[in-house]
Each structure stands twice: as structure tokens, then as C-alpha cells.
């Protein structure tokens, strides 16, 4: 006889109770100790026990302070022929590639903001989301706890490649959410394009990068490419939206809690729920 849902849940919980807590073997701690002995330490460390570290950190701060002083004096950082690395408060670093021009717009605990005029930066940020921003002529990259490379030319055309975490790229209400392993192109006037995974097929990339070809995108999409289709939902006409949703539902069976009609109406809450369901595979 079939159990009712509450009974099934109670039964599952009682079976889970059989699953014992397993003691971590001592080898785990030995491995950690070995790494600690090899030099891994908390950062930033307010108390320095090792003079060499203290010296190195003091030297880095001096360089960073000099860069910021120069930036504040002249407004802009031009890297010329060499790259530079600057600290972003205590939340990370940005490596600025040669030939890059950028400006520090804000450097406060609640907001760190750069303006990239042209060139390339590589950001490594470890902080709660939405503390680090990079403005370009085609929109703003908003860190959601991540590592990424952003390029831009003077007109604002560029690319965002994310290697860890998530980055939101926004322009006049249009937002592209790009997770690790994915990229998005940005264009002046139209802002961020539709993101896709770097390992997506060339057909899919062509279908969303150039003149939008919805049918080609739907045909080339894999389950992981629901990232692209989720964005596509919000960029196509009302008539094209239903086929996009149906393709998503084929690639990733959706729970009953996802309301198709609300998604098709672009209800923000329904889109968010859909994203949460799909994002697990992104």
C-alpha cells in the first residue's frame, strides 16, 4: 500500500536516523597540519608571528598605497607595458593587464568600485556579494563572490569570463548572471548579451552571439545550457517564450512548484524559482 506524503517523509526521516555520524579519521587533521606547516595561514592575520611575512605584507601594502596615492593624484591608472596588482580593501585583488586604463571610483568598506575604460582586469574577490563593482561603457560587473576576467574597449565592447562563483552584469535594467565556466559578451548601447558556458557548442554560441536565432539555440542546447535558455526567456518576444520554456522543461524536468504561466509572464519570483531549480546544474 502506498504511503501518504507526510507518512513517507516521516518514514524517510526515521530511516535517515540509521545513518551514523562518522568520526573523521586522524589522517584528515594530519593532512591539514602538514599544509599548515608548509605555510598556509589565515589572511589577513592581524598578528604576525613570522618577521618575513610581516616584511612581505608591509611591502605589499606600501606598493598598494603608492598605487592608490598615484591614482588619487592623477585619477587614472595606466599600466603601460607592465601589469599591476592592486588590493581591493581586504576583500581581494585585481590584476591589471598591460595597456589598461582604469580609475578607482570608490574604496569604502561597503563599496569598492572601479571604472574600466579599456584593457583587461582579473579580479579575485572573497567577500559577501555586491561589494565590488566594475563600471564599463556597456554596463557594470557586480561581484557575487568570485574570480573573473573582464575586457573592454573604449566603446564598451568586451567579454566577461568567470572562473569561480558568479558575476552579474547589468545595464539599464538588463541583467546577465554568469556562473563559473561561462562567459558573456558586452556591447555598447545594448549592454550584456546572453551568457553561455565556454564548452557549449559553436551552434549555440553563434545562435545567441550574433543575430539571435531562437530555434538554433533551442536545438543546440544541452541540460547545462539552461543557463542560456533561462536568459533567453527574458530576451525573446512573447510568441517565442513558450517554446523556450518548453525546451527548458524537456532538458531539466521541473517540479510542480514552477508555474509555467507566471514564468511566461516574466513574473520575477517565478523566474527566480526557475533559476534556483536550474542553477544546480550550472
Partner 1 sequence: MTNHPVQVTTEILAACRTGDRDAFRSLYDTYKDRVYSIALYFFHGDRAAAGDASQQVFLKLLTQIGQFRGDAEFSTWLYRMVVNTCVDMTRRRKRTTDLSDTLPAPARQHEEIEQRQVVDAVQAAVAELPEKFRIAVLLRHFDDLSYEEMAAILNCSAGTVASRLSRGHRMLAVRLKKFQERWK
Q: By the criterion CB under 8 A, which residues form the site for partner 1? A: 3, 5, 8-9, 11-16, 18-25, 27-29, 31-32, 35-36, 40-47, 49, 90-91, 126-128, 255, 257, 272-273, 276-277, 280
Report phi then psi at 67, rounded to 5.
-65, -45
Closest distance of CB 277 from partner 1, Å: 8
Closest distance of CB 27 from partner 1, Å: 6
Closest distance of CB 279 from partner 1, Å: 8
Place of cell 517565442: 240
Place of cell 599548515: 36
Closest distance of CB 165 from partner 1, Å: 9
- Helix H or strand E encompassing 30: helix 26-37
Closest distance of CB 124 from partner 1, Å: 12
Cα–Cα distances (Å) from 82 to 98, 100, 117, in that order, read 5, 9, 17
Which among 82, 84, 81 is positioned nearest to 66, based on CA atoms? 84
Which among 193, 172, 174, 171 is positioned nearest to 183, based on CA atoms? 193
Q: Which is nearer to partner 1, 27 or 82 (CB)?
A: 27
Place of cell 558568479: 166
- From CA 240, how far away is CA 233, in angstroms rounded? 8
Q: Which is nearer to partner 1, 15 or 210 (CB)?
A: 15
- From CA 197, how far away is CA 180, in angstroms rounded? 8
Q: With H, G, I as helix, E, B as strand and everything else as coil, classify residue 75.
A: coil
- Helix H or strand E encompassing 163: strand 158-171
Closest distance of CB 55 from partner 1, Å: 16
Q: Which is nearer to partner 1, 80 or 223 (CB)?
A: 223
Q: Which is nearer to partner 1, 9 or 261 (CB)?
A: 9
Q: Which is nearer to partner 1, 22 or 211 (CB)?
A: 22
Q: Which is nearer to partner 1, 60 or 189 (CB)?
A: 60
HSE, CB side, 13 Å, CA atoms: give it for residue 57. 14
Q: Which is nearer to partner 1, 49 or 81 (CB)?
A: 49
Conformation bin of residue 116: beta by default, left when phi > 0, alpha when psi is -120 to 50: beta
Closest distance of CB 101 from partner 1, Å: 30
Amino acid at each position: 500500500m502506498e504511503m501518504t506524503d507526510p507518512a513517507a517523509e516521516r518514514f524517510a526521516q526515521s530511516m535517515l536516523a540509521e545513518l551514523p555520524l562518522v568520526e573523521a579519521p586522524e589522517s584528515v587533521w594530519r593532512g591539514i597540519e602538514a599544509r599548515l606547516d608548509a605555510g598556509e595561514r589565515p589572511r589577513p592575520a592581524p598578528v604576525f608571528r613570522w618577521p618575513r611575512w610581516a616584511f612581505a605584507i608591509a611591502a605589499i601594502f606600501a606598493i598598494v598605497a603608492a598605487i592608490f596615492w598615484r591614482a588619487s593624484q592623477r585619477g587614472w591608472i595606466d599600466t603601460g607595458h607592465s601589469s599591476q596588482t592592486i588590493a581591493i580593501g581586504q576583500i581581494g585583488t585585481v590584476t591589471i593587464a598591460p595597456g589598461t586604463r582604469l580609475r578607482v571610483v570608490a574604496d569604502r568598506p561597503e563599496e569598492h568600485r572601479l571604472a574600466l575604460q579599456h584593457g583587461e582586469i582579473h579580479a579575485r574577490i572573497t567577500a559577501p556579494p555586491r561589494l565590488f563593482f566594475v563600471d564599463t561603457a556597456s554596463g557594470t560587473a557586480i561581484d557575487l563572490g568570485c574570480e573573473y576576467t573582464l575586457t573592454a574597449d573604449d566603446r564598451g565592447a568586451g567579454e566577461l569570463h568567470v572562473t569561480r562563483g558568479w558575476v552579474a552584469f547589468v545595464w539599464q535594467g538588463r541583467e546577465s548572471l554568469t556562473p563559473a565556466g561561462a562567459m558573456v559578451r558586452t556591447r555598447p548601447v545594448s549592454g550584456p548579451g546572453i551568457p553561455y558556458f565556454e564548452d557549449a557548442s559553436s551552434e549555440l554560441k553563434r545562435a545567441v552571439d550574433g543575430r539571435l536565432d531562437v530555434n538554433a539555440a533551442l536545438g543546440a542546447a544541452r541540460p547545462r545550457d539552461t543557463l542560456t535558455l533561462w536568459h533567453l526567456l527574458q530576451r525573446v518576444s512573447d510568441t517565442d517564450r513558450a517554446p523556450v520554456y518548453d525546451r527548458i522543461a524537456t532538458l531539466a524536468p521541473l517540479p510542480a512548484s514552477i508555474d509555467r504561466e507566471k514564468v511566461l509572464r516574466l513574473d520575477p519570483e517565478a523566474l527566480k524559482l526557475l533559476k534556483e531549480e536550474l542553477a544546480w546544474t550550472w
